[in-house]
Amino acid sequence: MANLPSNVNHIVIWLDQRFSLPGSNERMKEKFRHVTNPLKTFDKPTVCIDFIDSVKDKKIFLITTGPFAQDLVREVHDLPQIEFIYIYTHDINDHSRWVRQYSKIGIEHLINFDENLLECLIHDIGGYLMRDGDKCERGRELIQAKQLYEYAKGLYDQMSTENEEFKEISNELHQRITKLSSKSRLKS
């Protein structure tokens, strides 16, 4: 995967009461860190909310578990730095009743399996990076656009063997990167 470009301004935050337990979800956390770096974990809602309040210059992709979900969402939903909220829970039906009132959580963001959570997160972060790359490209910041596209492609490539849509997006990103590389050579 490409190195994290300096113009990437997002962070993944995960609030889960089990993170303080030794050995809890270590394999899953490592997988998420590998794919969604940076990943910041919390096990206490108040500490998590304080951190979110302190982050003004990054977009946040927030994951929370069922026990914390409703109170946390109510507290942070309207903050401008929150891009998406994911609720990782075993009881999707229970949460689907109240979650509809919040626009930053779609029903697809109620997730009960870690691979689905990872896939949804990659799709949303990749889309976010592509939109930022598009802005850079329109602003003639071609190097920055290429870096964002490369990083997004690296994310999609992580899951493209299992997901046909991710293969198509990865191919589209490859074409954009190739086009930008050609433009850069022409300007040299």
Inside any domain, residue 161:
yes
pLDDT of residue 146: 93
- Given a cut of 80, whether residue 36 has pLDDT beyond it is no
Does residue 32 share a domain with residue 99? yes
CATH number of the CATH domain containing 60? 3.40.50.2300
Q: Please write the tens of the pLDDT for every residue from 60-78.
A: 999 888 778 888 888 898 8
Does residue 159 share a domain with residue 96? no
Inside any domain, residue 118:
no
Does residue 87 share a domain with residue 20? yes
Whether the Cβ atoms of residue 69 and residue 88 lie closer than 8 Å to each other? no
pLDDT of residue 2: 54
Whether the Cβ atoms of residue 151 and residue 129 lie closer than 8 Å to each other? yes
Print the SS3 string covering 5-51. Answer: CCCCCEEEEEECHHHHCCCCCHHHHHHHHHHHCCEEEECCHHHHHHH
pLDDT band with cut points at 50, 70 and 90 for residue 100: low
Does residue 82 share a domain with residue 21? yes
Whether the Cβ atoms of residue 11 and residue 40 lie closer than 8 Å to each other? yes
Inside any domain, residue 4:
no
Inside any domain, residue 1:
no
Does residue 130 share a domain with residue 107? no
CA distances (Å), origin 24, targets 9, 30, 56, 138: 28, 11, 30, 44
pLDDT band with cut points at 50, 70 and 90 for residue 184: low
Inside any domain, residue 5:
no
Does residue 152 share a domain with residue 99? no
Mean pLDDT over residues 138-162, rounded?
88
Q: Please write the tens of the pLDDT for every residue from 19-35.
A: 666 666 667 777 777 77
Does residue 109 share a domain with residue 37? yes
Does residue 104 share a domain with residue 136? no
- Given a cut of 90, whether residue 145 has pLDDT beyond it is yes
Residue 174 CA to residue 35 CA, distance in Å, equals 19
Does residue 136 share a domain with residue 55? no
Residue 60 CA to residue 85 CA, distance in Å, equals 8
Q: For residue 105, give its domain range.
A: 10-113
Measured in degrees and rounded to the nearest 5, phi and psi for residue 24 equal -75, 120
pLDDT of residue 150: 93
Q: Which residue is it, tokens 């022409």?
A: 186
Does residue 21 share a domain with residue 107? yes
Angle at 155 between CA 50 and CA 114, to 5 degrees: 65
Note the pTM of the prediction, 2 decimals.
0.84
The total number of structural domains that make up the chain: 2
Does residue 97 share a domain with residue 48? yes
Q: Please write the tens of the pLDDT for every residue from 116-131.
A: 788 888 889 999 999 9
Residue 175 CA to residue 169 CA, distance in Å, equals 10
Do strands 82-88 and 39-42 pair parallel, antiparallel, or not at all (unpaired)? Answer: unpaired
Which has the closest alpha carbon to 88: 19, 8, 157?
A: 19
Does residue 131 share a domain with residue 183? yes
**Boundary (domain end) residue, out of 68, 85, 113:** 113
